[in-house]
Amino acid sequence: MSVLSAIFVGLAMGLVFGLALEKSRVFEPGVIVGQMQLRNFIMLKVFLSAVATGLVVLAALNGFGFIKLAPKATLYTADIAGGLILGVGITLAGGCPGTVLAQIGAGYRDAWATLLGGLCGALTFGYLEPVLRPWIDGGPGKLTLDHLVGLPFWQVAVMFAALIIMLLVLLERWRPWQTELGRHVDGDTGSAATGGSGRRHIVSQH
Amino acid sequence: MLSLRDKAWSPYAAGILIGLLQIPAFLLINTALGASSSYVTVAGNLAALVDPGAAKIDYIAKHLAGAKNWWQVALVIGVALGALLSSRLSGASRPPMSTVWSRGLGITSMAQRAPLAFVAGFIMLFGARIADGCTSGHGLSGIAQLAIGSFIAVAAMFAGGIATALLLRRV
């Protein structure tokens, strides 16, 4: 595919992605920080729904031979250290590398600073990569759950998706999603012990 | 049912829509959903304008051009446009910064928030590039491909995120 067509496809897919992120409110810093404090589970609900859908979609596409999968190599140090650092950033940014763009689109102006910091962080890594590479490398390479259990990808993917769906049913029974939005759909449900400002109300939508 | 004028959709409906995006990603672009490498493409191309040495580093060089790299840049720009469109249609306008920062950190002005947001973005992308993926690449796509490294990376992301969030006030 030419670069121009790829850009067109990317923009079209991004529009849908951004719409879904905005409508789900998962781009809200209040939702992300709330998730990390285990008080709001909208992030987990969106994330697990997307993963379960992806599992089923890839099980079908791969099972019928339309596509080859391209899982990332397993690099223990990089996955653990990089993931930990990324997690710190996610809480302080109140977002992820993708949802920061949704924050910008939705009107949070501080997200421009997050974006600029992200560009500088990515570039800094790029310059340091030759120095960091020996430390980052090291792991079993491409390793997937289906290979570990010795079953076809589509079977493990469908079973794992079913497990996620059961988990989501339980999660929804415990915390109905409408109760987690807050009056301003920003994840502020006024659940904190302190408070008392006029904004704090637990609102259930009907 | 779902309307573009709604301020909020069910997280399950939105999640399913996001998961379905793997179909065009794999069939048309031969890749999975991801976001963080686009930062290297944009920052690398900007750096190459002022520093010819940047393009001599293999890691930066392989992110500079090509359909997959520019597809992901277009994807994240599309995310901003999609969120803009969605919020305009529903009228869910946002203040300059989320109220979570005053509740969690006592930050009330942009002069306090912007430097922290910059540092947060820096840490986030530095970590994502070490891990070779973010919430999208490892989280959505890696786990959907049952990659063990992605399970580890996502667990580490939540560990780092939860540990940091516990240092904030209850939100």
pLDDT tens series, chain B, 171 aa: 899 999 999 999 999 999 999 999 999 999 999 999 999 999 999 999 999 999 999 999 999 999 999 999 999 999 999 999 999 999 999 999 999 999 999 999 999 999 999 999 999 999 999 999 999 999 999 999 999 999 999 999 999 999 999 999 999
Per DSSP, the three-state class of A136 is helix
Scanning the structure block, which residue is given the tokens 């391209």? A70
DSSP character for B30? S
Determine phi and psi for B17, rounding to 5 degrees. Answer: -60, -45
**Alpha-carbon distance A164 to A48, whole Å?**
7
Nearest CA in chain B to A65: B27
**Alpha-carbon distance B45 to B62, whole Å?**
11
Determine phi and psi for A203, rounding to 5 degrees. Answer: -120, 130
B84 touching chain A per CB within 8 A: yes
Residue B132 contacts residue A94 (beta carbons within 8 Å): no
Residue A59 contacts residue A68 (beta carbons within 8 Å): no
DSSP character for B171? -
> Is the pTM higher than 0.80?
yes
Could you list the mean pLDDT of each consecutive 10-residue stretch along chain A, which spans 206 residues? 96 98 98 98 98 98 97 96 98 98 98 98 98 90 95 98 98 97 94 46 45
Residue B76 contacts residue B42 (beta carbons within 8 Å): no
Per DSSP, the three-state class of B56 is helix
DSSP character for B169? P
Within 13 Å, how many C-alpha atoms sit on residue B126's CB side? 21
What pLDDT, on a 0 to 100 scale, did the predictor assign at position B20? 98
Residue B131 lies in a domain: no
**Alpha-carbon distance A42 to A92, whole Å?**
18
**Alpha-carbon distance B122 to A121, whole Å?**
4
Nearest to B99 among A54, A72, A188 (CB): A188
Residue B135 lies in a domain: no
**Alpha-carbon distance A188 to B90, whole Å?**
19
Residue B15 lies in a domain: yes
DSSP character for A74? B
Report the domain count for chain B. 1
Count interface pairs A-B at CB distance under 8 A: 573
Q: Which residues of A touch B113 (CB under 8 A)?
A: 110, 113
Residue B87 contacts residue A105 (beta carbons within 8 Å): yes
